[in-house]
Amino acid sequence: MSSAPLSIACAALLRRDLTLAWRRRGDIAMPVLYALIVTTLFPFALGPEDALLQRIAGGVVLVTVLLAMLLALDAMFRSDIEDGSLEQLVLAPQPLALMLGMKILAHWLATALPLILAAPLLAGMLHLPAPVMPVLLLALLLATPLLSLLGAVLVALTAGTRRSGMLLALMLLPLCVPVVIFAAGAVAAAQQGLPWLAPIAWLGAALALALVLAPLACAAALRIALDA
Amino acid sequence: MSGLSLSGFFAMGGYAAYIWPAYAVFFIVLIADFIAPSLRRRRNLCELRTRLARQAARATRTPPASP
Amino acid sequence: MANWIPLWLHKLGSPPIFYRFAGVLRPWMLALAVLLGAVALYGGLVLAPPDYQQSDAYRIIFIHVPSAWMSLFIYGVMAVASFIALVWRIKLAEVVAMESAPIGAAFTFITLVTGSLWGKPMWGTWWTWDARLTSELVLLFLYLGVIGLYHSFEDRRQGARAAAFLAIIGIINVPIVHFSVNWWNTLHQGSTVRILGPSKMSGDMLWPLLTMMAATKFYYLASLFSRVRVDLLAMESGKDWVRQIAEREGRQ
């Protein structure tokens, strides 16, 4: 078959998922609201001193974004499993990994992108110095797709089970430790005036690897979990 | 070994509070790990036996007259 | 399947034969583990002299280090068995992988607890964010994730395959975590603690350690065999050979 139908299928799936996400606009706002609430609680717990808040700002924003994404991750394939369209996707002639990659992209656009847009506000609330802000955004731009890709593999593994919320967090924690370390490391290095390119480059390398491997792993996991 | 050195052995040069709990944890966890499957085995076989007995009872009973 | 695999290996993969095989070997493994463990404990706690730096506190090493080795070794076994289970769909490999996980989690837990009991008198703290300690903690979470995923499926075999996939993802992850935490420690200087000095161990400290390591290996085999036997019985509960075992034990 020529490549034209494949690109059409990809575009159609992306459009469908984004339309579905747009129809449930309230769900898109939930993670952002959650991140806002969590970030607001930190100054109350730790005290309003500028120096302390500046020191923790980068890490708090990163962890908050991670938790907000975890909150939305559970729903990545939920509605598609319930109405059976995921099984149709598995049976479709197009390669499953590519189709799942499109679904992950749509999910990232719908959940992580609003969080990245809200990140300057969150960081500003914690007095993150303005020169560090671009590094934080760059780190988030690389770390959030990585988390979406890793999370998608785990969500696919739990597709055959009913309860998965806490289990998903338990399974994701070991995988997101390196992501958090490098993303927060870049922000911390920028804040101390040290070179911050190395951790960003590591994140980029991991993202490139995950972009290739995670959709394949996700497809394999989905086949295992739906194989009844 | 005399009695004095035995109490010296249990004192572990002043580190008894750290060494003996560590060894206790080691043995308690491993013993629990070893007992768990044998308990599970007994429960499983017990359930299986009751199921088999039920099936045998159903087979020997005369089938009820169909309406 | 490929021709180079000998016939007896195929036969060993069948549940009733493995059940009998494991039943014969298990008591011997347990006896070896207890014997070697007792010898190692005598050598480590009584015969070995106190360390010139750590005095008697170092004696935790005789359980801490073998447990740490086992926690990694069992994860390796689990990943290999998982790979075999996913590629060739051998039922026995699934059972071995899934029943290794609780034993590995137990050893990881022991490693963490004894490590902090050793760390308190030596470094003055129960816990430090060193690469090795953090990797061990992450390893515990990986084990718990595998166990949790396995039990969240209603169908056991499907759960075993999903958890096997997770185990393989995890073994790629462990070195990455170790590397990243090392990097992180160089960024945040201040809480670096030297875990083990460069000093060489003397012979009368080394042999109890190696003996204990052998004892834990045999213990793992004994525990794995008894767990696999239970699992095989549960999995094949409809088959004749299981029925015969149930009836034989009921009569006793």
- For the stretch A169-183, pLDDT in tens is 899 999 999 999 999
* pTM of this structure: 0.88
C11 or C26, greater pLDDT: C26
Q: Interior CA angle at C116 toward C112 and C118, to 5°?
A: 120
Q: Residue A29 in contact with residue A36, Cβ under 8 Å?
A: no
Whole-number average pLDDT of chain C: 85
Q: CB-based contact (8 Å) between B25 and chain C?
A: yes
Distance from C240 to chain B by nearest Cα, in Å? Answer: 11
With contacts defined as CB-CB under 8 Å, which chain C residues touch A174? Answer: 138, 141-142, 145, 170, 173, 177
Q: How confident is the model at residue A48 (pLDDT cuts 50, 70, 90)?
A: confident
Please report whether residue C70 resides in a domain.
yes
Identify the chains in contact with C, defined as 3+ C-beta pairs within 8 A.
Answer: A, B
Please report whether residue C78 resides in a domain.
yes
Query: Residue C149 and residue A221: Cβ atoms within 8 Å?
Result: no
**C144: containing domain:** 61-188+202-232
With contacts defined as CB-CB under 8 Å, which chain A residues touch C141? Answer: 170, 173-174
Note the pLDDT of residue C201. 66
Query: Residue C243 and residue B52: Cβ atoms within 8 Å?
Result: yes
- The residue ranges of every structural domain in chain A are 4-226
For C139, name the nearest residue in chain A, comparing CA atoms only: A174
Distance from C146 to chain A by nearest Cα, in Å? Answer: 8
Distance from C133 to chain A by nearest Cα, in Å? Answer: 14
Identify the chains in contact with B, defined as 3+ C-beta pairs within 8 A.
Answer: C
User: Which ipTM score applies to this complex?
Assistant: 0.86
Q: How confident is the model at residue A107 (pLDDT cuts 50, 70, 90)?
A: very high
Distance from A23 to chain C by nearest Cα, in Å? Answer: 32
Interface test with C, best of B2, B5, B46, B48 (most C CBs within 10 A): B48
Closest CA to C66 of C95, C25, C28, C36: C36
Please report whether residue C56 resides in a domain.
no
Interface size A-C, in CB pairs within 8 Å, comes to: 81
With contacts defined as CB-CB under 8 Å, which chain B residues touch C70? Answer: none
Q: CB-based contact (8 Å) between C223 and chain B?
A: yes
Segment A133-143 shows an average pLDDT of 93
Q: Which two structure tokens, joined as six digits, stand for C155?
A: 């169908």
Residue C211 has pLDDT above 60, yes or no: yes
| Chain A residues bordering chain C (beta-carbon distance below 8 Å) | 153-154, 157-158, 160-164, 167, 170-171, 173-175, 177-178, 181-182, 185, 188-189, 199, 217, 220-221, 224-225, 227-228
Q: CB-based contact (8 Å) between B2 and chain C?
A: no
Q: What is the pLDDT of residues C45-90, one digit of tens each?
A: 888 777 766 777 788 888 998 999 999 999 999 999 999 999 988 8
Distance from B66 to chain C by nearest Cα, in Å? Answer: 29
Out of A164, A181, A189, the one facing C152 most closely (by C-beta) is A164
Residue C116 has pLDDT above 80, yes or no: yes
Q: CB-based contact (8 Å) between B34 and chain C?
A: yes
Out of C149, C153, C176, the one facing A171 most closely (by C-beta) is C149
Whether there are 3 or more C-beta pairs closer than 8 Å between B and C is yes
Interface test with B, best of C227, C228, C240, C243 (most B CBs within 10 A): C227
Q: How many residues are there in chain C?
A: 252
Note the pLDDT of residue C77. 94
Distance from C2 to chain B by nearest Cα, in Å? Answer: 34
Note the pLDDT of residue A1. 46
**Which whole-number Å values give the CA distances from A174 to A53, A71, A107, A111, C201, in the listed order?**
27, 17, 22, 22, 33
Q: Which two structure tokens, joined as six digits, stand for C237?
A: 């509960």
Please report how the helices A50-73 and A165-191 are oriented relative to each other, as an axis angle in degrees rounded to 10: 150
Residue with tokens 């100054």: A43
With contacts defined as CB-CB under 8 Å, which chain C residues touch B50? Answer: none
SS (H, E, C) chain A: CCCHHHHHHHHHHHHHHHHHHHHCHHHHHHHHHHHHHHHHHHHHHHCCCHHHHHHHHHHHHHHHHHHHHHHHHCCCCHHHHHCCHHHHHHHCCCCHHHHHHHHHHHHHHHHHHHHHHHHHHHHHHCCCCHHHHHHHHHHHHHHHHHHHHHHHHHHHHHHHCCCCHHHHHHHHHHHHHHHHHHHHHHHHHHHCCCCCHHHHHHHHHHHHHHHHHHHHHHHHHHHHHHCC
Q: What is the pLDDT of residues A11-40, one digit of tens each?
A: 888 999 999 888 888 888 899 999 999 999
| Rounded distance between C-alpha atoms, residue C91 and residue C95, angstroms | 6
Q: CB-based contact (8 Å) between B3 and chain C?
A: no
Residue C224 has pLDDT above 90, yes or no: yes
For A172, name the nearest residue in chain C, comparing CA atoms only: C145
Lowest mean pLDDT among A60-64, A162-166, B36-40: A162-166
What is the number of structural domains in chain C? 1
For A225, name the nearest residue in chain C, comparing CA atoms only: C162
Note the pLDDT of residue C205. 79
Please report whether residue C176 resides in a domain.
yes
Lowest mean pLDDT among A97-101, C74-78, C183-187: C183-187
Find all residues with CB under 8 Å of A13, minimum gap 6, and list them.
A89, A99, A102, A103, A106
